[in-house]
Structure 1
Amino acid sequence: MFRHGESSGRVVAVARDFSPQQGLGQVLRVFPSSNAAELVLVTREPDDEPDYDDILSLAREKKAAKRVNLVAGAAGDDLTALFRSADVVVAPARCEPSCATVLQAMACGAPIVATSAGGARDAVIGEVTGLLVPPGNADALGRALRSTLGQMVLREGMGLAGRSRARSRYSWDRIATDAEVVYASATTRESAFAC
């Protein structure tokens, strides 16, 4: 059981790359106060050496280098395995238009902490499938991580709700049904205007 002051849990933070606007550095800055045992910073694109080196320097500066792992260019099964191993997945980008990565994490049963911008705002139901924080707000990010890591029942509930939402709302069958409804509606309106 998690107790204040103990290290527990694995945080997987994922972004497009290691650049500052993607927010992985901000996750690293709040990590020492989160009481997590391990932080995995993951990028979907291969590393950009200067930004990668900046993240490594920051990890050493925060005296967290032994508890931080960097994974550059993760995709497919590797990304899925990381999400399944996480106690919480963080999507810290200031604005990420796509919600595909967040949905993949949700489908793996991971609770989400994400910025309330871009695609995550549509995918994540605040306080149900995860926690949404204002972009760039380190204090809110730190509180959300501590809250999620500190409450196993909350994590499990968010993970189950997220998996259910990802599978029911964003499955290919649901997308096809929604597209069919939109097409039928557009066709009906077009016919009404033709008369």
Structure 2
Amino acid sequence: MNYRLPEPVCIGITAVGLWMAAFTYDVNGLLSIIGLHTGIQYPDLAFGAIFVLAGVVFSTILQKLLSNKFLVWMGRMSFSVYVIHMIIMCSYSCIVFSQLNQFFSYNIAAIASIVSTIILVYLVAPYFYEMFDLGGQRLSNALYRTSYNEASLIVQKTYNFCKSGKLLSAMYEIMKNPSAVHSSVKGERKEGK
């Protein structure tokens, strides 16, 4: 993106967005006092996300910070961590805490079980990522390349019509005779092979 905001403005926008996401309050409850209601369930979270995104998109410093190899790896592992953390917390963490609490104070047992749980989750997450997450991505790509390819070509042909400035004629052609568009897309696919 060529347009950039000053870095302090971007960092401020990001900080406001993080604050809105972290410290939630009922905006609709406050607005209903004066007779207004947004209709959005969590407007503070939605606007917070928009502010964070805007701050990062326009800031080179924040982009470099978030492009750090460790943070990129953490992002890649996030779904795996999300899926396995509760399983590990409800099994391993409870056992470790119960055992440690017999010999040490509550605080030491809690800290030790929390730290060891975080370590275990991030040790297991890469294996889960390799076995399930990447496997799911490969399966999704294979399904897309086979069964959804014709639908993809129809969308692509419609997009090309629209891009060429023939939006109304493309819509008219599709509504008038959808099978003709489908057969012409099949013909293009055979020619492309």
Q: Normalized against structure 2, the TM-score is what?
A: 0.29
1 or 2, which has the higher strand percentage?
A: 1
Q: Determine which structure has more spread, i.e. the larger CA radius of gyration.
A: 2
Q: Normalized against structure 1, the TM-score is what?
A: 0.28
1 or 2, which has the higher helix percentage?
A: 2
